[in-house]
Amino acid sequence: MTPLVTLVGGCGPQAEQSATSLSSSDKVEAIASTLQACSYDGAPVKASASSLDGRAPNDCALAVRRIMEFTGLPANFVVVSGPVDNAAAVILLDDKRVPRRVIAFNPQFMSEATKAVGGSKWGPISVMAHEIAHHLSGHTIVPGGSRPEIELEADKFSGFVLQKMGAPLNDATRMILTVGSAHGSPTHPDKQSRAEAIRQGWEESCRQNGGAKCDTGQAAAGPPAKPGTIARAQTVARAPTLPAPGSVPFKYGHFVNDETGKLDPARVKAMEARLFSLAKDVGVEVSFLVVDDLKGLSAQDYAWAMMRQLRVGKLDVGNGAVVVVAPRQRQAAVAFGPGLAKEAEFSDPQAQLLQWVDAAWKYCDDADGCGGWTDNLFNIFNLTLSNAANTKWTIQYPSLGNLLSHYEKINAERLATRRTFNPATDQPLGNLIRISGKITDLSPPTGMGQVNSRLIGGTLGYTAVSMKTQDGYDVILYVSPRLAGLMPGGALRQGTTYTAVGRLQRAGDNDRQASALWLFSYDPL
Domain edge (last residue) among 173, 208, 243: 208
Three-state helix/strand/coil letters over 408-473: HHHHHHHHHHCCCCCHHHHCCCCCEEEEEEEEEECCCCECCCCECHHHCECCCCEEEEEEEECCCC
Exposure string for 216-254, b = 16+ CB within 10 A, e = fewer: ebeebbeeebebbebbbebbbbebbebbeeeebbbbbbb
Residues 168 and 256 in one domain: no
Q: Is 295 helix (H, G, I), strand (E, B) or coil?
A: coil
Same domain, 204 and 237: no
How do residues 249-263 score in pLDDT, each as one tens digit?
776 667 998 999 999
By residue range, what is the domain housing residue 520? Answer: 400-524
- The CA-atom distances, in angstroms, between 212 and each of 162, 222, 261 are 18, 9, 22
- pLDDT the model gives residue 232: 39
Nearest to 434 by CA among 32, 50, 10: 32
95 falls within a domain: yes
Strand-pair partners of 437: 469, 498
Are residues 376 and 427 located together in one domain of the fold?
no
Residue 215 domain-assigned? no
Same domain, 320 and 444: no
Do 282 and 365 lie in one domain? The reply is yes
Contact 106, 441 (CB under 8 A): no
Please indicate, yes or no, if residue 221 is contained in any of the structural domains.
no
Predicted pLDDT at 222: 44
How, if at all, do strands 256-258 and 54-55 pair?
Answer: unpaired
Same domain assignment for residues 368 and 300: yes
- Kindly state whether residues 97 and 244 are assigned to the same domain: no
pTM of the model: 0.77
CA nearest to 288, candidates 384, 144, 201, 194: 384
pLDDT digits over 281-290, tens only?
Answer: 999 999 999 9
Q: Which residues of 390-402 are buried (b: 16+ CB within 10 A; e: fewer)?
A: ebebebbbbbbbe
Q: Average pLDDT, stretch 305-320?
A: 88
Percentage above 70 pLDDT, the chain: 79
What are 66-118's pLDDT values in tens digits? 998 888 888 888 888 777 777 777 777 666 666 678 877 777 877 888 888 88
